[in-house]
Structure 1
Amino acid sequence: MGDIWTTIRSMGWNLTHRLGIIDIIDILIVAVIIYELLLLTRHTRGSALLKGLFLLFVIVILSNILGLTSLNWLLLAVLQNGALVLVILFQPELRKALERMGRSRLITKGNHRNEDEDTEIIIDEIIQTVVDLSRRRVGALIVFERKTGLQDVIETGTALNAEISAPLLENIFEPNTPLHDGAVVIREDRIMAAACILPLAEASGVIRGLGTRHRAAVGISENTDAAVIVVSEQTGIISLAMDGSLQRPYSIDAMRSFLHGFYSSKVSSISSFLRGIFKRHTEG
């Protein structure tokens, strides 16, 4: 029962009395692992489990301070089997992490496309979709999640969690199909849901004369930082709604520039930064 507290006290003493270069590197590695775990569990049920485990750890500390011996013993017994519990609870996230490691360029040695090539393919698929729908005058609403989570919007539609591809997107918006009426929500490189319901903007001079599709695009951009590409069913004109305003018409070059900015901001994580440093040192 006291093993965990002994370990914690030992770690605290080492941090305050014996902190060296190796210790700093060790702490940074652990920090990166925790950060990646948080990224993997973000927007999943795993995030709620992590919060539960953190709360459990806090209760253990409080029960020890308050002298609640029985409760402290029970919770410590659970934590001492924490490795097995974590594997069971986070099996999907751990599998995803191992698959990501297996696809790493350091392991595959160039057998897979790099991140830049993957991003270009995704952008080309989206642009091809928008151009084809515009040419055929098929209405579309494509919402790009940015910093503000759109899980509440995703839950109003039909969950997909599919890879981005032009055939899939065009099929979703095809008239008289089950999912054509509503918005598609894209989170990073995944189509999270289709037929989602968006809040409507109040009628204003900016969108006077436009239909429900454009009002929905402006509405979600007013309430969140999401960006929305709209294709008009009547005219085929492409628009972009962002920060509560509507840019119309919206050129293909401008759309490509926006998508490059959107996806470049998504890959600027700590792990990408560290991989860049490692790559420069190995090539230098």
Structure 2
Amino acid sequence: MSTLFQVNSDFWSNLFSSPWQIVIHVLDVGIVAWLIYRFIKALAGTKIMSLVQGVVLFVFLKFVAEFLGLTTITFLMNQVVTYGIIAAVVIFAPEIRSGLERFGRTPQALIQTRTVTSDDQIVQAFVDAVKYMSPRKIGALVAVEGTQTLREYITTGIPLDADISSQLLINIFIPNTPLHDGAVIVKDNKIAVSCAYLPLSESSSISKEFGTRHRAAIGLSEQSDALIFVVSEETGAISVAHKGDFVHDLSIDAFERLLKEQLISEGSETKPFLKTLFGGKKDA
């Protein structure tokens, strides 16, 4: 007991040995807290967050088992931890790779000047394409990948890996052409595929006025953080789905403002999906 008391005494005396040491320790704790905050905020609303919550609960139960002296349960939990880490890396390899790629691009983003960025050009391409297709009632369905991978849906489409342009988007969705059916998926500022199949929403509260494209947009938004926009083939109305929210009958100006809010990064996080800001009508 005296040895433990001496160790604790030495720890606290070293911790506050000088004002400079106090500043260093405060900075150390502050950096760790900020990293944890950013990590949790980046995972909020994703499927990985559910895994993280489960891991935290599992670790808590493991400490309880050790404290109570439950030897067998503690042994089994240690085995799960040993092999669970490997399993998690294999299962979530796409998400981990995507996160590392984004992290690697951060230094470049910090030194870039913001004149006309690729994000601006992409948003303008989307707006120009919709501006052409909407009055002509050319049906369209476009999904822009967020932090969660859409690889399982990308594999269902026809690979393009093409630069985004309004002309290409318009040409893809012209009726009775080989690529017009299904969805276009945008990944890493490229049109990854066309003719992709998206999951249909099973919600019974969706109005019957919405067809397969709208149900697919809502379905994908319920299962990922992708931003999906739709042009109705029947009415030419513009709709957007994101994280389970759905707005329709947007004007071109409202659609452009929404895209800029969601897709153009200005050194801050993605903005909330504000349904009432754009004059759109919410449904299901």
Q: TM-score range by the shorter chain?
A: 0.5 to 0.7
User: Quick one: structure 1 residues 180 and 38, their matched pair in 2 at CA, closer, same or farther if it must change by over 3 Å?
Assistant: farther
**Cα distance between partner residues in 2 of 1:169 and 1:68:** 61
Instruction: Supply the distance in 2 between the matched residues of 1:62 and 1:244 (Cα, whole angstroms).
Output: 44
What residue is the counterpart of 1:165 in the other structure? 164
Aligned-partner SS, 2:117: helix
2:129 aligns to what? 129
1:56 to 48, 55, 58: 58
Distance 1:87 1:214 in 2: 34
Which position in structure 1 is the counterpart of 2:120?
120
Q: Tell me if structure 2 keeps the 8 A contact 1:41–1:93.
A: no
Counterpart residue number, 1:3 = none
> What letter matches 1:261 in structure 2?
E
Distance 1:92 1:78 in 2: 22
Partner residue, 1:239: 238
Deviations 1:126-185 (A, max 9, x none): 223323434764211346799xx999xx79955579898347755664545677445567
Shift of 1:87: 9.5
In structure 2, relative to structure 1, the CA distance for the partners of 1:126 and 1:180 (3 Å cut) is same
Deviates more, 1:161-170 or 1:29-38: 161-170
Q: Return 5+ residue gaps in structure 2 as ranges.
A: 271-284
* Identity between Structure 1 and Structure 2 (%): 28
- Tell me, what secondary structure is at the counterpart of 1:141? strand
Assess if the C-alpha contact under 8 Å between 1:184 and 1:192 holds in 2. yes
Which residue of 1 is the match for residue 256 of structure 2? 256
**CA distance in structure 2 between the partners assigned to 1:41 and 1:180 by the alignment:** 34
Q: Distance in 1 between matches of 2:79 and 2:148?
A: 38
The Cα of 1:55 is off from its aligned counterpart by 3.8
RMSD after superposition? 5.6
Query: How does the TM-score come out when normalised to structure 2?
Result: 0.54
C-alpha distance in structure 1 between counterparts of 2:104 and 2:213, whole Å = 42
* In structure 1, distance between residues paired with 2:102 and 2:75: 38
Judged with a 3 Å threshold, the aligned counterparts in structure 2 of structure 1 residues 56 and 230 are, in CA distance, closer, same or farther, namely: closer
* Corresponding residue of 2:25: 23
Deviation at 1:67, TM superposition (A): 0.8
Deviation at 1:35, TM superposition (A): 4.2
**For this pair of structures, how many residues does the alignment match?**
241
TM-score by length of 1: 0.54
For 1:54, give the aligned amino acid. V
Specify which structure has the higher proportion of helix.
1
In 2, the alpha carbon distance for the partners of 1:125 and 1:175 equals 20
Q: Cα deviation per residue 1:88-135 (whole Å; 9 max; x = unaligned)?
A: 556555544443343233x6874x575972431221232233234347
Give the alignment partner of residue 67 of structure 1, picking from 52, 69, 74. 69
CA distance in 1, matches of 2:228, 2:110: 37
Spell out, residue by residue over 1:195-231, the C-alpha distance to the aligned partner (whole angstroms, 9 max, x if none): 322457335xxx5xxx6368749977xx999986432
Amino acid at match of 1:195: Y
Match of 1:33 among 32, 35, 58: 35
- The whole-number CA distance in structure 1 between the counterparts of 2:50 and 2:29 is 25
Distance 1:22 1:230 in 2: 52
SS of alignment partner, residue 240 of structure 1: strand
In structure 2, what is the equivalent of residue 100 of structure 1? 102
Change (3 A) 1:46 1:172: farther
CA distance in 1, matches of 2:43, 2:32: 17
